[in-house]
């Protein structure tokens, strides 16, 4: 092969000679940083992406220091702690979700991603059949599941089933029966957290499923008590 009077072998030798002339410790760090930066493009989860970014930022920072290239050094000096903090936050979130799914089913780990909203007596948070786009966590006040006559005290999650239903529709209506405050989070935010790490999605679905089973057991208990009351009153319960 001849290109502009230069053979392929000659071009390769020139490239190798150029690389050798420029290859020092700074260049080695830069190449390693570049390799890990490329790896971030193939990361399938946010955790792996953050890890690759951390390694890449470290080696690019060292390259900037040794080159020397002050803008490069300062940029990656700033990116390194940002990626470290985000990685710690993400792993902490996964740990809390896992603990909740295996323990008390608490949803406290979700609070940092929620927004505060107030409701007054008589306000309807949502009605059965409405389009579902967010979940609620009760902080204060009292809320009623209209169709079931079940009251929800502070510390309860509302509207999570809309996230799981195929058509994203509300399965019940919720009304405020005493002025109160709730925290809200959109389903889009939940999906964002899921795509950052599939572990989050697994434990979140496990958590919501277990809470659903708790609600079913609670409703069965209410039905049984109503039957007992009917029997005590001398009436025959309807099956």
Give the predicted TM-score (pTM) of the model: 0.52
Q: When comparing pLDDT for 219 and 100, which is higher? A: 219
- Confidence at residue 57, expressed as pLDDT on a 0 to 100 scale: 92
Of 84-88, 115-119, 166-170, 197-201, give the lowest mean pLDDT range: 197-201
Residues 6+ apart with CB under 8 A from 125: 119, 136, 143, 158, 159, 174, 175, 176, 182
Ordered by where they begin, the domains of the chain are: 2-102 (no CATH), 109-196 (2.60.120.10)
Instruction: Using DSSP, state whether 207 is helix, strand or coil.
Output: helix
- Per-residue pLDDT tens digits for 5-25: 557 666 666 666 655 666 678
Tell me which residue of 41, 47, 81 sits closest to 61, measured CA to CA.
Answer: 81
Task: Output DSSP code: residue 83.
Answer: H
Q: Distances in Å between the alpha carbon of 176 and those of 92, 116, 134, 173? A: 33, 15, 17, 10
């Amino acid at each position: 092969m001849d290109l502009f009077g230069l053979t392929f072998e000659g071009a390769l030798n020139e490239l190798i000679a150029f690389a050798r002339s420029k290859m020092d410790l700074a260049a080695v760090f830069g190449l390693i940083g570049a390799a890990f930066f490329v790896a971030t493009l193939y990361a399938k989860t946010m955790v792996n992406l953050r890890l690759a970014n951390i390694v890449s930022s470290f080696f690019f920072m060292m390259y900037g220091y040794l080159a020397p290239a002050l803008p490069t050094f300062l940029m990656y000096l700033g990116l390194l702690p940002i990626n470290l903090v985000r990685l710690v936050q993400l792993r902490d979130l996964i740990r809390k979700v896992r603990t909740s799914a295996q323990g008390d089913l608490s949803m406290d780990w979700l609070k940092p991603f929620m927004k505060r909203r107030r409701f007054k007596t008589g306000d309807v948070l949502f009605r059965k059949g409405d389009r579902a786009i967010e979940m609620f966590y009760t902080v204060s006040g009292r809320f009623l599941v209209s169709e079931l006559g079940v009251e929800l005290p502070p510390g309860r999650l509302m509207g999570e089933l809309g996230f799981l239903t195929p058509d994203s529709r509300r399965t019940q209506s919720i009304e405020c029966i005493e002025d109160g405050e709730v925290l809200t989070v959109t389903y889009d935010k939940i999906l964002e957290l899921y795509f950052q790490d599939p572990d989050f999605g697994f434990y979140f679905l496990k958590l919501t499923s277990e809470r659903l089973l708790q609600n079913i057991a609670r409703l069965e208990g209410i039905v049984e008590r109503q039957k007992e009351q009917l029997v005590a009153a001398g009436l025959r319960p309807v099956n």
